[in-house]
Amino acid sequence: MSDTSGRMGTGLPATPPTGIRIRRATEADAALVDILVREIAAHQGDHVQATAADWGSMLTRDDVCVLLAFDGERPAGYVSTLRRFHLWSASDLIALDDLWVRPEARDKGVGRALMQAVADLAAPERLAIVWGARADNEAAHRFYLRLGAAMTTKEMFSWRPASSGV
């Protein structure tokens, strides 16, 4: 993940800051991924249905990629992505699901390093990367805009038809 081609103007570093290491999660990392996912869910006031066993299975899928960040040997955060087909462009894209940096690891370049790693995943095929952020998460908005991301005003909806009586 050290390819630096095409990074001009992205706001991303060519290499992670000293001491920050990024690697792809494997099935053996399922318990750690579960812990990190539960941390972001608690931070956002959400709940998680996936279990560590579910993560063990998901991490074997080709379309699922979780990248773990370490500050030295200590887990510092993660980014989760899903490669999916986009009908309008008739090509794949990378859908970023979560970016989480533990509070004690913030302001050390961990988030930027994780985003650079996602950019490295997308670069060989020039895939678009898309994601959402909560409307009230102004710190995330500032961070993503500093990276050079464009913000759109499309709202997201979720629906569970079986529980709505439809």
What pLDDT sits at residue 14? 53
pLDDT for 95-130, tens place per residue? Answer: 999 999 999 999 999 999 999 999 999 999 999 998
Average pLDDT over the chain, rounded to an integer: 87
Distances (CA, A) of 72 to 29, 75, 80, 108, 151: 17, 8, 21, 12, 33
Q: Percentages helix, strand, coil for the chain, rounded to the nearest 5?
A: 35, 25, 40
